[in-house]
């Protein structure tokens, strides 16, 4: 490979010092002679010179790069939020490095270490529930860090969250208004104490109470993705099966749809269905799916904005804030009550 052009080549060619070329690159034109500037500009064009960002970063102790670690990229939520973060960063000349922890704290830890050794200027994380010490160390060092989607007990930093209780409430209310009272909620594993899942269950219970509906523990199912279908079998073989299901997220939804399809259970006829998270095919599904939409763009944008703010004002250490965002309901179908209503 041909040798890369360096600042020294430019300096020699232009007949000035490296310092002056550097001033030019950093747009410190205050005291620079018109001719000098023109000369440098010309040589840079001629040589097609591109500054070495690595060298600059080493000296400046800032890489203009942030890391983003998401717990699981398979959630549409993650990809949408990432897109929003990238947009904000691009507008501000910041690069992003995206990492997918794959729901694995060990992987998350490796990415954390890699990102830090790459000297990133800040970090946005949808955390797994591990690595408390590492995060707390970063927080105590005042390292720019923003959490997204989840709160982990014992970690106190700025966090952008959905109003998860409201999401459940919207779902319960919509189903109730369509005549459902036997409402189940199915979501991926609860073991990890992950905020959205826990809060959505909590919101579900509160919404039922408000409607004076008895909470039935058998209607609350949490399991890892591969076991969801098993849980659905449990639900449908109850002596009093639910007439409607709330799906906790998009991946859970796919399991439910696959299960009902395989078993000839008709959505909106045999069972009401509503899901948290928008999916691409909601409107063209038979029947169209009623969904609870997260403002992913707003949430990602906010997280990025907070982070950039923190990076720019490292000295000031504000009290951590939690930013809550409202979900919204898109009624499309799939929630009708057709069977007998027992009341």
Residues that bind DNA (CB under 7 A): 4, 6-8, 15-20, 22-23, 25-26, 31-33, 35-36, 51-52, 55-56, 58-61
Report d(CA 172, CA 274) in Å as an integer: 9
Residues 204-233 close enough to bind a copy of itself by CB under 8 A: none
Pairing between strand 220-223 and 183-188? parallel
Task: Identify the CA nearest to 141 among candidates 1, 22, 273, 310.
Answer: 310
- H/E run at residue 223: strand 220-223
Using CB under 8 A as the binding rule, whether residue 54 contacts a copy of itself is answered as yes
Name which of a copy of itself, DNA, none residue 22 binds, using a CB cut-off of 5 to 8 Å depending on partner kind. DNA
Beta carbons of 325 and 296 less than 8 angstroms apart: no
Work out the angle between the directed axes of helices 34-47 and 18-25 (0-180°, nearest 10). 90
Using CB under 8 A as the binding rule, whether residue 22 contacts a copy of itself is answered as no
Using CB under 8 A as the binding rule, whether residue 143 contacts a copy of itself is answered as yes
Using CB under 8 A as the binding rule, whether residue 113 contacts a copy of itself is answered as yes
Out of 92, 202, 286, 313, point to the residue binding a copy of itself (CB under 8 A).
Answer: 286
Name which of DNA, a copy of itself, none residue 63 binds, using a CB cut-off of 5 to 8 Å depending on partner kind. a copy of itself
Structural Rg of the chain based on CA atoms:
26
Out of 19, 26, 52, 321, point to the residue binding a copy of itself (CB under 8 A).
Answer: 52
CB of 33 to DNA, least distance (A): 3
Cα dihedral value 266, 290, 255, 238, nearest 10: -60
Beta carbons of 88 and 108 less than 8 angstroms apart: no
Task: Identify the CA nearest to 151 among candidates 90, 84, 198, 217.
Answer: 198
Instruction: Between 18 and 285, name the residue whose CB sits nearer to a copy of itself.
Output: 285
Report d(CA 51, CA 9) in Å as an integer: 11
Choose the stretch contacting a copy of itself; rule: CB under 8 A; options: 16-24, 140-148, 155-163, 191-199. 140-148
Report d(CA 94, CA 260) in Å as an integer: 45
Instruction: Between 93 and 264, name the residue whose CB sits nearer to DNA.
Output: 93
DSSP state of 295: -
> 220: which strand partners?
185
Instruction: State both tokens at 161.
Output: 């969250």
Out of 13, 23, 36, 63, point to the residue binding a copy of itself (CB under 8 A).
Answer: 63
Choose the stretch contacting a copy of itself; rule: CB under 8 A; options: 11-19, 56-64, 220-228, 301-309. 56-64
Using CB under 8 A as the binding rule, whether residue 50 contacts a copy of itself is answered as yes
> 70: which strand partners?
100
Instruction: Between 29 and 261, name the residue whose CB sits nearer to a copy of itself.
Output: 261
Instruction: Between 117 and 214, name the residue whose CB sits nearer to a copy of itself.
Output: 117
Instruction: Look at the block and give the residue holding tokens 């550097």.
Output: 22
Instruction: Look at the block and give the residue holding tokens 């009902």.
Output: 260
CB of 66 to a copy of itself, least distance (A): 12
CB of 311 to DNA, least distance (A): 15
Out of 12, 22, 57, 328, point to the residue binding a copy of itself (CB under 8 A).
Answer: 57
Out of 141, 153, 340, 343, point to the residue binding a copy of itself (CB under 8 A).
Answer: 141
What is the total residue count of the chain?
Answer: 343
Query: Phi and psi (nearest 5°) for 147?
Result: -95, 155
CB of 301 to a copy of itself, least distance (A): 17
Binding pattern for the stretch 254-283 against a copy of itself, x by CB under 8 A and - elsewhere: x--xx--x-----------------xxx-x
Instruction: Look at the block and give the residue holding tokens 């105590």.
Output: 140
Binding site for a copy of itself (CB under 8 A): 1-2, 50-55, 57-58, 63, 73, 79, 83, 86, 95, 97-98, 100, 113-114, 116-119, 141-143, 254, 257-258, 261, 279-281, 283-286, 314
């Amino acid at each position: 490979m041909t040798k890369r052009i360096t600042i020294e080549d430019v300096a020699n060619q232009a007949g000035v010092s490296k310092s002056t070329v550097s001033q030019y690159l950093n747009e410190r034109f205050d005291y620079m002679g018109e001719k000098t500037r023109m000369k440098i500009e010309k040589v840079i064009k001629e040589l097609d010179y591109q500054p070495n960002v690595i060298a600059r970063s080493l000296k400046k102790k800032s890489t203009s790069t942030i890391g983003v670690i998401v717990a699981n990229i398979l959630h549409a939520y993650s990809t949408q939020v990432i897109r929003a973060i990238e947009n904000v960063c691009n507008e501000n000349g910041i690069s992003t490095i995206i990492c997918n922890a794959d729901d694995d704290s060990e992987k998350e830890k490796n990415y954390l270490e890699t990102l830090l050794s790459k000297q990133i200027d800040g970090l946005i994380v949808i955390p797994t529930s591990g690595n408390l010490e590492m995060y707390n160390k970063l927080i105590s060092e005042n390292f720019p860090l923003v959490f997204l989607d989840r709160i982990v007990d014992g970690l106190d930093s700025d966090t952008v969250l959905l109003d998860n209780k409201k999401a459940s409430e919207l779902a319960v209310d919509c189903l109730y208004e369509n005549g459902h009272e036997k409402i189940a909620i199915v979501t991926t594993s609860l073991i990890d104490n992950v905020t959205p899942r826990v809060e959505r269950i909590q919101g579900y219970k509160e919404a039922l109470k408000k409607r004076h509906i008895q909470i039935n523990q058998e209607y609350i199912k949490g399991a890892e993705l591969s076991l969801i279908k098993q849980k659905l079998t449990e639900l449908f073989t109850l002596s009093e099966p639910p007439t409607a299901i709330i799906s906790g997220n998009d991946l859970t939804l796919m399991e439910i749809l696959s299960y009902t399809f395989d078993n000839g259970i008709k959505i909106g006829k045999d069972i009401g269905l509503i899901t948290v998270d928008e999916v691409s095919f909601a409107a063209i599904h038979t029947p169209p799916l009623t969904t609870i939409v997260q403002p992913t763009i707003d949430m990602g944008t906010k997280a990025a904005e907070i982070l950039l703010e923190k990076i720019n004002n490292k000295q000031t250490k504000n009290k951590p804030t939690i930013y809550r965002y409202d979900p919204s309901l898109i009624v499309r179908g799939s929630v009708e009550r057709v069977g007998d209503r027992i009341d």
